Each structure stands twice: as structure tokens, then as C-alpha cells.
Amino acid sequence: MSTVADRPQGRPVLQDPVLQEEAQRRVDLAQSVAVELAGSLSVRRIVLKLLGLLAPGTGTPFADWTVVGVLDAAQGTVALHGGLDHQASVLTTVDRDVHGALVDLIGSDVTESIHVGLGDLPDALATVVPDAGLAAEVRGMRPAEVLVCPLSARGAGIGFLLLARGHGGGFPPEDVALARQVADRFAMALDAARLYEDRARVATVIERSLRPSALPDLSYVALASSFRPAAEHLQVGGDFYDVHPHDGGCVVVLGDVCGKGIEAAVLTGQARQSIRTASLFDTAPATLLGALNEVLCDDQSERFVTAVCATVRPEDDGSLSLDVATAGHPAPLVVRANGTVEELVVHGRLAGVTPGNVYTSVPARLEPGDLMLLFTDGIHEARGSGEIYGTDRLARLMSKYAGVLPQVLCEAIEQDVVDHLGGLAHDDITMLALGPRR
């Protein structure tokens, strides 16, 4: 085949209309692939888009049969998409002993062409098509030609593109070059989508692990909580709470880490785990906050945590006795059964600022009908129409709900804070209420 350089210079080159149409078809397909695959971050979506552009039914199909193979190196599997039905998918494995030719091509920049004649030649086809059903589809189109285009990104093989033209059709050099161009562009889009999905999956796992735990069902104490993360944080926030049962009672903790985003999320997990581990050895709230402070100071991250921690013990008369300590956190409020609201007088410095255990606890007692509320600054610092919500408003509202169940109190406070915000942005809104079980 001659090239443009081989032709005599100075003489016009006459273009066959059919060749011009074929050349334009290749340009149009390359542009369509570039446009359709741009911006999509879903592996499934870009696979279907590519198959739709190349498969029959598109007006001028590039191939009679198209399969995309997406490798999962960690699992040792390959997801095969397409075939005569480009909506079909199958999960299989690639075995070097059986699919040696395909394994050798993956990760390379070599596009291989395999001819499938009228004779029974299962071995050659089986080495590049790792599924018997898909291989049978190609045999049904014999004689056929199969192109194997490896997909690679960032120096690693991530899959392959198989294209077949049957019933005597083949791929001229121009179409082979176009197939390689399409495969390279698709590999870039596929790699970006996989990277995005992997990161999204990691974020989901982290998010799930950092969400506040379900409260335990304990015979002596009624517990309820409310957690409304800031909208921009989705389901991960800087607030946390936990209840750790132990012999003779439980430890209740609620806290708020400084900062936003992933850094705050990591610190949240560190704080929760530090308190959980320390509570296995000592349940005194001042000791637990001291342990948290030491861990954070040793980390030298220049980040701090505010927290309130309480040890809860049931008494024979149905009341609860508590020891409460705080680390730079708002003191809990107690609403008595008669509507009186009290703020516990307890103080302590931020955890993570200065080494040492300098925390002290104060005693408290909850009689039947009393409730204690632990809350973060997303409540009393909530700002709506230029005015903060404030602890005074919170206390007045709690007084109106004296004697209710903890869940009712939490729901009432959350709704009142949201109404006060009037749709404006807010910090994490978190609270935990507890009282003697009725």
C-alpha cells in the first residue's frame, strides 16, 4: 500500500468518494468517542457508552461484535461487558494457561488481529476470549476477524477491548489505527472512573465507620440521641457520641473535634477509639479525658477536641448517680421532673493542647422523670437571621418538655434549632439525652 509520501509531487490526488466517506466516518467516530466519554465518572456508564457507539444499531457500526474487559487485579477477575447484546455482563477469570495470548497483550501497546476461519479453530479464539458463550458468538459469524486492543493506564494493564467483524469482513489498517485510538481514549476514561469509584468507596467505608453508633438498650437508663451533620459534610461530621456499657453501669461521652473535612473525620475516629480503649481499664470520666488528652498531645497534630464524659450507675431506688467531667465542652443541662433546668458546674481545658491529666469530675444525680442533655456547639451557637440560638433559649425549651422521654426531648430541640436557622448553613447539630428508665 502506498503512502502520501510515495506519490509523485505536484500532481493532484484524486479522492474516491467512498474513501472520503470512510475517512469522514472515522473522524466522526473518534470525535463521538471523545465527547461521549468525557466527564463521566461511572465505569458502567462509560462502558455502555462505548459499546453503544461501536455496536450494531448505530447507523454505521464499527464492529459486529464488541466486548470490553475490565480487570480487577486484587480479585483476579475480569468483568466482560457486551457481545451481541451490549447490555450483557459476565464475571470470569483470566488464566494464563488458557488465555496466554490475552495475558501477554494486556498492558502492552500491541493490537493483535486473529482470523477465525470456517474450520473448527476453537483454540486460537479461546486464548483471547475468556468466556465460552462470547467465543461461540464469534464462531457464529465465521469467517471473522477479531481485534484485541489492550487497555493500559499509568503503566499498568487495566483491561482490553475486543472487536470482531464477521461474515468475511475485516479491519483495514486505517480501522486498526482508529481502534487503537479509541482504546487509548477509553482506557484514560476508564482509569479515571475507576479511581473515582475507588475513592468514593473508601470515603463510604470511612463515613460508615465514623457515624455515631447505635445506642445500646440498657435496663436502667433511657437513652436518645440526635445527629444532624452540616450539609457540606454529608453524613460525616466532627461531632461524635458513644455509650460504653461496663459492669455496674456505663460510660457516656459526647465530643466535638476542631476543623472540617477529612482531617476532622480522622481526628473523630482517633478520639472515639482512644476513649473506648481507655474505658476498658478505667471508667472514671476524668481519667478517660486525661487519656484522650495524652493521645492527642503525643500526636502533635495541633488539633484539639472538646468533650464531656460521664459515668452512669443505677441506684436501688431507680435513680441514676453520675460523675461528669468536661474538656473545654459546654456543661450538660439537667431538666428536673418539675421543669427546673440546671447547668452542671464543671470545667476542664481542651483536650490536645497541654499534656497532663488535670481533669476533675463533679457528681450528679437524676431522679425518675429527670433528664440530662449533652450537646455540642452546633445547637447553642446556631445562627439564624443574625441571632444565635443560645443556652438560655435551650433551657427554656427544655423546661417546657419536663418529664418527657429522652427521644421526645431530642426531637423537640432539633426541630426548634432547625426552625431558628431558617434554612441557613449550620454546624453539626448533635445531642444525647439520658435519664432513669421508667
**What is the per-residue pLDDT for 3?**
37
* Backbone angles phi and psi of 119, in degrees to 5: -70, 170
Cell of 87: 447490555
Taking only the tens place, the pLDDT of each residue in 371-416 is: 999 999 989 988 887 789 999 999 999 999 999 999 999 999 999 9
Which residue type is seen at 385? S
% helix, strand, coil for the chain, step of 5: 35, 25, 35
Provide the CB-side half-sphere exposure for 261 (13 A, CA): 1
| Cis bond upstream, residue 143 (ω within 30) | yes
Mean pLDDT by 10 residues, the chain (438 residues): 41 61 79 83 91 71 91 88 91 82 80 76 75 90 90 90 90 92 92 87 68 85 90 61 93 87 77 93 95 86 88 96 96 97 95 86 97 94 87 96 96 94 82 95
The per-residue pLDDT for range 317-372, each reduced to its tens digit, is: 999 999 999 999 999 999 999 999 999 999 999 998 888 778 999 999 999 999 99
Cα 55 to chain centroid distance, Å, stands at 33
Q: Which amino acid is at 412?
A: A
> How confident is the model at residue 13, as a pLDDT?
47
Helix (H) or strand (E) holding 128, with range, is: none
Radius of gyration of the chain (CA): 33
Domain boundaries of the chain, sorted by first residue:
17-200, 213-436
pLDDT of residue 212: 66
Q: Can you tell me the distance from the alpha carbon of 372 to that of 241, in angstroms, rounded to the nearest whole number?
A: 14
pLDDT at 406: 97
pLDDT given at position 32: 84
Q: Which pLDDT score, from 0 to 100, does residue 5 have? A: 40
Q: How is domain 17-200 classified at the architecture level of CATH?
A: 2-Layer Sandwich (3.30)
Residue 208, pLDDT score: 65
Q: What one-letter code names the amino acid at 301?
A: S
pLDDT of the residue at 24: 79
For residue 190, the model assigns a pLDDT of 93
| 334: nearest Cα among 349, 316, 348, 322 | 322
CATH class of this structure's domain 213-436? alpha beta
| pLDDT value of position 2 | 35
Got the DSSP string for 332-383? PEEE-TTS-EEE-----PPBTSS-S-----EEEEE-TT-EEEEE-HHHHT-E
Within 10 A of 250 (CB to CB), how many other CB atoms are there?
23
Q: What is the pLDDT of residues 32-57, one digit of tens each?
A: 888 888 878 899 999 999 998 887 65
Q: What's the pLDDT score for residue 108?
A: 80
Please give the single-letter amino acid code of residue 13: V
